[in-house]
């Protein structure tokens, strides 16, 4: 697939678009619609031009989806892009097109991790982050631009949700902005401003008290006698 923008040309091989990209609906060309279209184009219009018009209208949202993905990913990068309807694993991990994806630059509480809310009551903040991510995605497809691989061979990526008629939503930034994850400063400072805004507004985990996910994981894997 080739996407052109502002004099640049981006090429993406078919093997990289392994995901199932959902189109807004079936592209069916009705004979009656083709006739109406031909009438509007005039008696001299070529029959093929008239019959292709509804198909072009149907494919426009798909083209917009791919273009929005390139715009948000920084246009012409050589990065791998995974597209598909994801399965949410936890607050910062997805499975897209059969590939495990770790969201870049952020760290969400683990599923078994507990935090204290604004009233001092304990709740499973890791499960809350997972539910929030699942809800914001819904049944929409995502586009994940892979930056690297981690030690577990997962693809580390920035993922966006793109719906027809809406601006792309950066899932990494959204999770931090809503207080469902923290900026993973060891790997990136990109999401520090979003974290500061969430902290100031006391959203999500910032409404109460919590342990940084990395510290919590370290304690969980540490031998009992060493703690």
Predicted confidence band of residue 220 (pLDDT cuts 50, 70, 90): confident
The whole-number average pLDDT for the span 143-147 is 97
Closest CA to 182 of 126, 114, 124, 116: 126
Sequence-separated (6 or more) residues with CB below 8 Å from residue 122: 114, 115, 116
Pick 28 or 182 by higher pLDDT: 182
Predicted confidence band of residue 162 (pLDDT cuts 50, 70, 90): confident
d(CA 107, CA 122): 20
d(CA 177, CA 199): 9
Do 184 and 91 form a contact (C-beta atoms < 8 A)?
no
Q: Is 41 exposed, middle or buried (0-12, 13-18, 19+ CB in 10 A)?
A: middle
Do 205 and 179 form a contact (C-beta atoms < 8 A)?
yes
d(CA 75, CA 55): 26
d(CA 145, CA 141): 13
| Structure-token pair, residue 84 | 């598909």
Predicted confidence band of residue 79 (pLDDT cuts 50, 70, 90): confident
- Sketch the domain layout of the chain as residue ranges: 24-72, 81-226
At the top level of CATH, which class does the domain 81-226 belong to? mainly beta
Q: Give the DSSP H or E segment for 106.
A: strand 106-107
What pLDDT, on the 0 to 100 scale, is given for residue 223? 58
Low-confidence winner among 26-30, 43-47, 81-85 (lowest mean pLDDT): 26-30
Task: Record the pTM.
Answer: 0.66
Give 31-74 pLDDT, tens digit per residue.
443 444 433 434 444 444 444 444 444 334 444 555 555 554 44
Longest Cα pair distance anywhere in the chain, in angstroms?
A: 87
Closest CA to 47 of 26, 27, 70, 31: 31
Task: Please state the φ and ψ torsions of residue 123, each to the nearest 5 degrees.
Answer: -150, 160
Please identify which residue in the block is written with the tokens 């870049």. Answer: 104
Q: How far is CA 97 from the centre of its chain?
A: 13
């Amino acid at each position: 697939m080739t996407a052109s923008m502002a004099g640049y040309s981006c090429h993406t091989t078919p093997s990289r678009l392994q995901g199932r990209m959902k189109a807004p609906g079936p592209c069916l060309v009705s004979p009656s619609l083709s006739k109406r279209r031909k009438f509007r184009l005039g008696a001299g219009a070529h029959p093929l031009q008239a019959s292709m018009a509804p198909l072009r209208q149907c494919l426009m949202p798909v083209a917009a989806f791919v273009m929005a993905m390139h715009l948000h990913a920084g246009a012409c990068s050589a990065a791998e892009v995974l597209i598909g309807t994801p399965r949410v694993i936890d607050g910062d991990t997805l499975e897209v097109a059969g590939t495990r994806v770790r969201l870049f630059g952020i760290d969400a509480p683990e599923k078994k991790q507990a935090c204290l809310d604004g009233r001092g009551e304990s709740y499973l903040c890791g499960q809350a982050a997972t539910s929030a991510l699942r809800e914001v995605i819904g049944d929409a497809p995502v586009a994940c631009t892979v930056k690297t691989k981690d030690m577990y061979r997962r693809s580390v990526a920035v993922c966006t949700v793109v719906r027809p008629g809406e601006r792309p939503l950066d899932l990494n930034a959204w999770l931090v902005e809503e207080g469902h994850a923290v900026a993973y400063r060891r790997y990136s400072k990109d999401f520090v401003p979003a974290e500061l805004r969430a902290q100031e507004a006391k959203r999500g985990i910032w409404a109460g008290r919590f342990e940084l996910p990395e510290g919590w994981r370290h304690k969980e894997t540490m031998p009992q006698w060493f703690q």
